[in-house]
Amino acid sequence: MPVRGNQFKKNTLREDALEGASQPFKKKVSEKREGLPKFNFNNDRAIKIFGLFLLLLAIYFLVSFTSYLFTWQDDQSYVIDANGGWSNLFKTTAELKSNGVLNPNIQNWTGKLGALLSHQFMYEWFGLASFIFVFVFVIIGYRLLFKVKLLSIHKTLAYSFFLLIFISVTLGFFHSFIGDYPHYIEGEFGYFSNLLLQAQIGSTGAAVLLVFAGLTCLIIAYNIDFKLPERKPKPITEHFLEDDDDMIEDEEEDVLEDDESQSLEDLQKNRLVNRPTLTTNSFEVENTLEKEEPVSRAKDDFDEVVNNISKPSPKIEDQEDLALTIEKTEEEAKADELVEQFGAFDPTLELSSYKNPTLELLEQYGSGKISVDTSELESNKNKIVETLNNYNIEIDKIKATIGPTVTLYEIIPAPGVRISKIKNLEDDIALSLAALGIRIIAPMPGKGTIGIEVPNSHPEMVSMRSIIATEKFQNTTMDLPIALGKTISNEVFIADLAKMPHMLVAGATGQGKSVGINTILVSLLYKKHPSQLKFVLVDPKKVELSLFKKIERHFLAKLPGEDDAIITDTKKVINTLNSLCIEMDQRYDLLKEAGVRNLKEYNEKFIKRKLNPNNGHRFLPFIVLVIDEFADLMMTAGKEVETPIARLAQLARAIGIHLVLATQRPSVNIITGTIKANFPARLAFRVTSKIDSRTILDSGGADQLIGKGDMLLSTGSDLIRLQCAFVDTPEVDRVTDFIGEQRGYASAYELPEYVGDDGDGGSVKDFDPNDRDAMFEDAARLIVMHQQGSTSLIQRKLKLGYNRAGRIIDQLEGAGIVGPFEGSKAREVLIPDDYSLEQLLDELNKKD
Ligand SMILES: Nc1ncnc2c1ncn2[C@@H]1O[C@H](COP(=O)(O)OP(=O)(O)OP(=O)(O)O)[C@@H](O)[C@H]1O
């Protein structure tokens, strides 16, 4: 039975492994876990306790049933129904005696309860087949307590149920030939079932039925073949046959003797070859747990199976079975074997105890119901009709859709009225309705109507909580769902940032832009696991995004060696953007190697263990770059910022890097043509001029919004008016606290290092022996010892980050210790042994 690695690697071990590693963190957690744990079914502890209970119950049943085989006669007068049965459990000796119990001193090794239980199961129910219950309890209990799958629970239950009945009835069948009374061999169930069967179909019928049931079960379980013995071709002469047989026997004996002479040695060798695979298996599993590295864990799994696969597979003996077998490539076979052994790779396993923020952290503002009274609707309708009539525009029909901030009046003009005429009267209509924020949509896309949006006199706030709580959000299958708010017809609006794939956000100061960005970030935090998503946050104002600092070890990405995960300095922004470009290029290389087109396919392949982590493959989280005040950056750095942003926006879609740029000043020198062209999704809060609205949306309208989260979302073709979900700073604070207090990764997600134009970037040609990494020699020895030029080996054994290990391998290449990068294969090791390596290292040291 293969060991299910993923099961081994569940919480318990990991948390133990962590104990030594991060004391301060542990302290925090224990502080948090004051009070008694809640017991619900999902509670891991409750499951373990239940598992333990089942295992102990199995032992109790086993002892009680076994003891029953020897003591049933002594205890019989106590357990039989005629003398009280189960009710005897609580009776005193005197009462028992008066009930006719001959021997109140119970002989069963598990006491009165055991005697009653075993009588119930063995005599009254299923006889000897009752031992199956012990087996079932062990399988389930073991699984729940140790999280190790001995057998499939479904199959165990199904087969046990069948066997319980089958064995009981079969034993009853045979017992019926010896005696005509129920016995603990088959139990009353087996006995009476048999009586019934024999009465209906006779002994022969019952026998046939039992054989049929038994064989059917075997066929279902093992798909056994029924083959008649083959007739051997007739020998030509008897004499020849005898000689031949002798010859064959002699030969076989020789072979056997030879075998014996070899056998001990061979056996030992075989054991040496085969055993370590198994022991490494369990050992490595634990080891990787301590290291907490999902990539190296997957890699160890991979290595093992490569070992296993290279072992000769058992010979196919039955040549005549012409069943069609579909050949799998070696890669696929490897992947299948890995999945079979360890289960699919689970990126969330490293932080398996991570909990998404709860709904209670968010505030419920307002009643959640829209309150627009009919008099307001009526008066607005009359004003619209009057105004239009003043301009000789006849209306056929008018209907209102009430939204949280505005009400949409849809008008069907009388035949012959030109739509452009109404559009031209926009300002006049707004004036006569005396309301700010009127927007005329003529015509309504997809409908033959004209829309007039009129703000409600009492706008309803849309709280983030009310959106997050909806089924639509909870059940969404979007990759990066952002709960933007509600539409004009009061429907929850959720967009997928992964599909957008980048977004420009603009709005004058105080109109809800910062709230909008928080809404986007919080939505994603409610939906994603830290292993699936990383934010790169740029906040030149230094205050807006500072709350997210707390989730650095969970959700933030930063440059290696940086202290602050939230970037406020322009120079660092440029480095980060370029670093993201490198990450993008690396991801493209990985995708190319994996032969897939996008991040989703890549990760699916990785999860199915079809990609070898030895070749640098890793689970790729989405990266969302948020720049809060883009205008500031463009003013100070211009092209230096624009170029990488444009590159990322153009190319990063497939590899899961998405950009959200926000600006107060949506002028053309900030939102340049290049940037605009690559940001099809634009979100506009109220802006101060029509020109600004055109810059951001390519149309007017944003200047006529009413502020406070009233916004327009343009997704290329559509323009949708939305009321942004409101999330206040204290709520964001609570959400980030909730996440920050949980166990996180050792550090933020490390982006590739970007050295800038003047740096050397660790290139081979620039290898300088004086500028070697401190771990250079250790890495060299490791590589030569293993004769395997792999970055991940260095990463794993020396416990280094990916980037540093990558730099060291480049330096090793520069020093001539490993060969150049060879795509999917590990690099060639150019130094054959330790001795040659030490000589080379000496030489390098002399050059210092
Ligand atoms: N979705 C919303 N629903 C209700 N009120 C909102 C909403 N968004 C913003 N507001 C109100 O508007 C105020 C200003 O919002 P916010 O701080 O987001 O503006 P801003 O555009 O980011 O301003 P600045 O650019 O100066 O930071 C908030 O304090 C809140 O009172």
Q: Is 512 in the pocket of ligand 1 (CB under 6 A)?
A: yes
CA distances to 290, 419, 783, 826 from 786, in Å: 22, 78, 5, 12
Q: Whose CA is nearest to atom 9 of ligand 1?
A: 512
In the structure, what pLDDT confidence band is assigned to residue 85 with cuts at 50, 70 and 90? confident
- Per-residue pLDDT for 214 more than 80? yes
- The bridge status of strand 749-750 relative to strand 681-684 is unpaired
462, 484, 515, 664: which to mutate for ligand 1, most atoms within 8 A of CB? 515
Q: Whose CA is nearest to atom 20 of ligand 1?
A: 510
| Tokens at 622, concatenated | 């989405």
- Tell me the CA–centroid distance for residue 730 and ligand 1, in Å: 14
Q: What confidence score (pLDDT) does residue 176 get?
A: 86
- Per-residue pLDDT for 479 more than 90? yes
Q: Chain centroid to CA 45: how far?
A: 22
Q: Cβ(681)–Cβ(503) under 8 Å?
A: yes
Q: Is 463 in the pocket of ligand 1 (CB under 6 A)?
A: no
Residue holding tokens 């990759």? Answer: 479
Taking the C-alpha atoms of residue 14 and residue 10, their distance in angstroms, rounded to an integer, is 7
Taking the C-alpha atoms of residue 714 and residue 218, their distance in angstroms, rounded to an integer, is 63
Taking the C-alpha atoms of residue 9 and residue 146, their distance in angstroms, rounded to an integer, is 11
Nearest-atom index, ligand 1, CA of 725: 1
- Tell me the CA–centroid distance for residue 470 and ligand 1, in Å: 23
ipTM, 2 dp: 0.97
Nearest-atom index, ligand 1, CA of 485: 1
As a whole number, mean pLDDT of residues 79-103 equals 81
Q: Is 514 in the pocket of ligand 1 (CB under 6 A)?
A: yes
405, 492, 664, 708: which to mutate for ligand 1, most atoms within 8 A of CB? 708
Taking the C-alpha atoms of residue 593 and residue 602, their distance in angstroms, rounded to an integer, is 10
Q: What confidence score (pLDDT) does residue 415 get?
A: 82
- Tell me the CA–centroid distance for residue 487 and ligand 1, in Å: 18
As a whole number, mean pLDDT of residues 507-519 equals 93
- The residues near 89 (Cβ < 8 Å, ≥ 6 apart) are 112, 113, 116
493, 511, 523: which to mutate for ligand 1, most atoms within 8 A of CB? 511
- Per-residue pLDDT for 264 more than 80? no
- Tell me the CA–centroid distance for residue 296 and ligand 1, in Å: 45
Q: Is 726 in the pocket of ligand 1 (CB under 6 A)?
A: yes
As a whole number, mean pLDDT of residues 433-439 equals 72
Phi, psi of 403 (to 5 degrees): -110, 180
Q: Is 804 in the pocket of ligand 1 (CB under 6 A)?
A: no
Q: Is 802 in the pocket of ligand 1 (CB under 6 A)?
A: no
pLDDT in tens, 140-185: 888 888 877 677 788 888 889 999 999 999 999 998 888 888 888 8
Is CATH 3.30.1860.10 correct for 464-745? no
- Per-residue pLDDT for 374 more than 60? yes
H/E run at residue 222: helix 187-222
Instruction: Please state the domain extents for the chain.
Output: 1-35+254-343, 38-222, 374-455, 464-745, 764-847
147/325: higher pLDDT: 147
Q: Cβ(488)–Cβ(408) under 8 Å?
A: yes
Mean pLDDT of the chain: 78
Give the fold, CATH level 3, of 764-847.
Arc Repressor Mutant, subunit A (1.10.10)
pLDDT in tens, 223-235: 666 655 545 444 4
As a whole number, mean pLDDT of residues 818-845 equals 80
Q: Is 289 in the pocket of ligand 1 (CB under 6 A)?
A: no
- Tell me the CA–centroid distance for residue 724 and ligand 1, in Å: 10
- Tell me the CA–centroid distance for residue 513 and ligand 1, in Å: 6
As a whole number, mean pLDDT of residues 448-461 equals 84
- Per-residue pLDDT for 40 more than 80? no
Q: Whose CA is nearest to atom 10 of ligand 1?
A: 708
Taking the C-alpha atoms of residue 473 and residue 476, their distance in angstroms, rounded to an integer, is 5
- The residues near 705 (Cβ < 8 Å, ≥ 6 apart) are 437, 439, 511, 684, 685, 686, 687, 711, 712, 721
**Structural class in CATH, domain 374-455:** alpha beta
Taking the C-alpha atoms of residue 698 and residue 666, their distance in angstroms, rounded to an integer, is 11
Q: Whose CA is nearest to atom 2 of ligand 1?
A: 709
The SS3 assignment for 780 reads helix
Q: What confidence score (pLDDT) does residue 552 get?
A: 92
Q: Which residues of 329-345 are buried (b: 16+ CB within 10 A; e: fewer)?
A: eeeeebbebbbebbbeb
In the structure, what pLDDT confidence band is assigned to residue 432 with cuts at 50, 70 and 90? confident
- Tell me the CA–centroid distance for residue 709 and ligand 1, in Å: 6
Binding-site residue numbers for ATP are 507-514
Q: What confidence score (pLDDT) does residue 417 get?
A: 78
Binding-site residue numbers are 507-514
Q: What confidence score (pLDDT) does residue 321 get?
A: 54
Query: For residue 464, which of 741, 684, 740, 735 has the smallest C-alpha distance?
Result: 735
When mean pLDDT is compared across 188-192, 442-446, 628-632, the lowest value belongs to: 442-446
349/778: higher pLDDT: 778
Q: Is 507 in the pocket of ligand 1 (CB under 6 A)?
A: yes
Q: What confidence score (pLDDT) does residue 449 get?
A: 82
Q: Whose CA is nearest to atom 24 of ligand 1?
A: 509
Q: What confidence score (pLDDT) does residue 260 get?
A: 39
Q: Is 631 in the pocket of ligand 1 (CB under 6 A)?
A: no
What does DSSP assign to residue 818? Answer: B
Q: What confidence score (pLDDT) does residue 224 get?
A: 66
278/130: higher pLDDT: 130
Percentage of the chain beyond pLDDT 90 is 25
As a whole number, mean pLDDT of residues 539-565 equals 87
As a whole number, mean pLDDT of residues 35-58 equals 75
As a whole number, mean pLDDT of residues 452-480 equals 90
What does DSSP assign to residue 314? Answer: P
| CB-count burial class (<10 Å; 0-12, 13-18, 19+) for 62 | middle
- Per-residue pLDDT for 752 more than 70? yes
pLDDT in tens, 659-706: 999 998 888 888 888 888 889 899 999 999 889 999 899 888 888 888
Q: In what order do the strands lie in the sheet with 450-455?
A: 395-402, 406-413, 450-455, 439-441
- Tell me the CA–centroid distance for residue 462 and ligand 1, in Å: 13
As a whole number, mean pLDDT of residues 284-311 equals 47
As a whole number, mean pLDDT of residues 757-786 equals 71
